[in-house]
Amino acid sequence: MQSMVYEERPKFVNFDVIPLETFNNYLDNAEVIITHSGVNSIISSMNRNKPLIIVPRMKKFGEHVDDHQIEIADLMEQKFNVLVAKDTTQLANLIEQSKEHKYKQYQSKSAELIEAISRIVNE
């Protein structure tokens, strides 16, 4: 993997794939996070209460095999009030907006789900 050293703080950083520790470090230090509609990327950003913009990858641009990322982005926008850019011309405006925008915090339901499954299995 290529090592990056910066004289100044970069305006943006992008990667194809990075180790989890590096990913988390960048999230922790980011001022604004712009991500595709990957659920892990979204939830990891929300858990850090970071300004967040989702830009779903779209089938029409050959970025994905279907438009499930639009569906995820729409759900996050409706349920959690997360900012979504379906057109990159919106990004500059959304970046500024994201610094003051508040979205609803994500609450994991994993423990409740595991408990419910355990009750069913143990009956």
Instruction: Indicate the domain borders of the chain.
Output: 20-122
- The confidence score (pLDDT) of residue 9 equals 64
pTM score = 0.76
Side-chain-side CA neighbours of 24 within 13 Å: the count stands at 4
Q: What percent of the chain has pLDDT over 70?
A: 90
Which among 30, 67, 64, 68 has a CA at the least distance from the CA of 49?
A: 30
Work out the mean pLDDT of the chain and round it to a whole number: 84
CA distance 33 to 31: 7
Q: Where are the alpha helices (DSSP H) in the chain?
A: 20-29, 39-47, 68-80, 91-98, 110-122
Mean pLDDT of 83-100: 93
